[in-house]
Structure 1
Amino acid sequence: MEAKQHREEKGESAKAVRLCQSKDSDASGIWKWVREEAERVAGEEPELRPLLQNVVLSQPCLGASLGVRLARKLAREDMTKEELTPLLTGILRGEDHLVDSAARDLRAIVERDPACPSPLEPLLFFKGFMAISTYRVSHHLWNHGRRELALYFQSLASEVFAVDIHPAARIGCGILLDHATSFVVGETAIIEDNVSILHEVTLGGTGKESGDRHPIIRSGVLLGAGAKILGRVEIGEGAKVGAGSVVLNDVAPHSTVAGVPAVVVGVSKEDAPALEMDQRLGCRGR
């Protein structure tokens, strides 16, 4: 038991050091960390060596690596891996802001998820990260007038990752999409930076009206599993929405809401609940 605890503490300490080292140069620091982990795993797990070689060790940068990984995951008869790879790597390597956003997402996952020891794991295995990365490509295409191709990538992400994000939605970076299954985001939704979202969350409309009809999620918000936020409501900065809640009205900054329909049950104990990932509601008087 003591040996196990020592290994866990050593692992957490090493993770903290690497996060500190990678902070100033996000994309390059994260990429260096990914490569070092890939070299280690390739030596320990021969069965994974071909995957690691193709996705990480033979690639010159994070953008190229992410493009190759997405191509492997999204390839279908409609568009093969050989067709997707140059398309995706070309977009990602040509747009620094997309790679910077991906690096900040990777960093957010490592910081907030105790089950994630390094950025290599989400790059290879976490469908939440891959779904958000696919959205970033589709959003870029949408904004450059390539709407049909953007919708094609939305459809692929829905099929492969069970995550449906409209390419016109506006999502910041430093996003943790944990587990991800059944996450739905409507066309006019806005999610600011540093938000944490659990599975089965819906940011939807309430009918067939046009215009701005989907939620606004401000920075630092934590959305619990299964939360449904409907209509053009605003979840204020640093708020917390309890699991399974249905939110139909604005939520004030730093409030905690829960229930069906959701009501205020307390005040967030943290300035940014998204960073702490504490799912407890923190009700008044407790």
Structure 2
Amino acid sequence: MPAGEFRQPSPPLPPPGSEEEEAWVWTQIKSEARRDAEAEPALASYLYSTILSHSSLERSLSFHLGNKLCSSTLLSTLLYDLFLNIFSTDAGLRSATVADLRAARFRDPACVSFSHCLLNYKGFLACQAHRLAHKLWTQSRRPLALALQSRISDVFAVDIHPAAKIGKGILFDHATGVVVGETAVIGNNVSILHHVTLGGTGKFGGDRHPKIGDGVLIGAGATILGNVKIGEGAKIGAGSVVLIDVPPRTTAVGNPARLVGGKEQPTKHEEVPGESMDHTSFMSGWSDYII
């Protein structure tokens, strides 16, 4: 900073879920977009059309998703109007979007800004698009919900059935190859890496997919099959195949997965696996493998 220049400090981040949080995050996104447009003129038009020309986060996100998911027969203007109407009338969806932005920004060290997540993180975008499809599903607009699911899968390589229920503060990290079945339920503050499957078994209907508790961390390539429960704060190791319930605050690793010990209740919210993104702290309890 040049000598004598005074820079106004950034206001503190409002508490999660507060009424001020959405406005604060949107202000941050616009500030970041202006900074990036000045630093990289090649992106100025793109940043203006996707962020700076809009008056709210829901308008910006509706425009961006509409352009991402449109096709020759599913027009971007139609999707924009559809998405904006849903976001504008559902405060819960807007709150979930902000919680997901926070999840990416503060859990993923590769996420350099809120605007970077909004524009470029396909896991975040796929999750928001799923929330819209789920809303349509609950409104009995199922053909449109399924059409959106197909477009989300085509564009983002993430296949989530529109009936699946997903909480707030979700991080789909990298996201490629994530599959979530019809009756799956994902709690709050869950982090899921790429190529994770929450699938069913057999060809029968009914409640047949996993139930993921709050604060769970699921490693890359993990497969969880059937109507099993993954308890609050549990970890599923990368590449594991889980066919049975996993108790709260317990780690499951291997194929088939085995339990490798529990953990005391975290003393801080940040220590919950879905928040901390700690994949390896359990290793000393079961392995003598040393590099």
| TM-score with structure 2 setting the length | 0.89
Structure-2 residue corresponding to 1:68: 63
Structure-2 residue corresponding to 1:166: 161
Partner SS for 1:214: coil
| 2:191 is equivalent to residue 196 of structure 1 | yes
One-letter amino acid of the structure 2 residue matched with residue 88 of structure 1: F
Q: Deviations over 1:124-143 (max 9, x none)?
A: 00000000000000000000
Once the two structures are TM-superposed, the CA of residue 81 in structure 1 deviates from its matched residue by: 1.7
Q: For residues 111 and 137 of structure 2, what CA distance do their matches in structure 1 show?
A: 32
**Contact 1:266 / 1:281 at 8 angstroms: preserved in 2?**
no
Q: For residues 95 and 197 of structure 1, what CA distance do their matches in structure 2 show?
A: 25
Structure-1 residue corresponding to 2:128: 133
Bigger shift: residues 164-173 or 111-120: 111-120
**Contact 1:22 / 1:30 at 8 angstroms: preserved in 2?**
no
Structure-1 residue corresponding to 2:39: 44
Which of 129, 148, 153 aligns to 2:148? It is 153
One-letter amino acid of the structure 1 residue matched with residue 150 of structure 2: S
Which stretches in structure 1 are left out of the alignment for 5+ residues? 1-13
**Contact 2:13 / 2:21 at 8 angstroms: preserved in 1?**
no
Partner SS for 2:169: coil
Structure-2 residue corresponding to 1:20: 13
Q: Percent identity?
A: 48
One-letter amino acid of the structure 2 residue matched with residue 202 of structure 1: T
Once the two structures are TM-superposed, the CA of residue 18 in structure 1 deviates from its matched residue by: 6.6
Q: For residues 50 and 282 of structure 1, what CA distance do their matches in structure 2 show?
A: 47
Partner SS for 1:20: coil
Distance verdict in 2 for CA 1:206–1:121, change over 3 Å? same
| 2:50 is equivalent to residue 79 of structure 1 | no
Structure-2 residue corresponding to 1:110: 105
After superposition, residues 234-253 of structure 1 pair within 5 angstroms as 234-253=229-248
| TM-score with structure 1 setting the length | 0.91
Q: Deviations over 1:227-252 (max 9, x none)?
A: 00000000000000000000000000
One-letter amino acid of the structure 2 residue matched with residue 274 of structure 1: G
**Contact 1:30 / 1:103 at 8 angstroms: preserved in 2?**
yes
Which stretches in structure 2 are left out of the alignment for 5+ residues? 1-8
| 2:272 is equivalent to residue 277 of structure 1 | no
Once the two structures are TM-superposed, the CA of residue 103 in structure 1 deviates from its matched residue by: 0.6
Size of the aligned set, in residue pairs, is 271
After superposition, residues 93-104 of structure 1 pair within 5 angstroms as 93-104=88-99
Q: For residues 48 and 157 of structure 1, what CA distance do their matches in structure 2 show?
A: 25
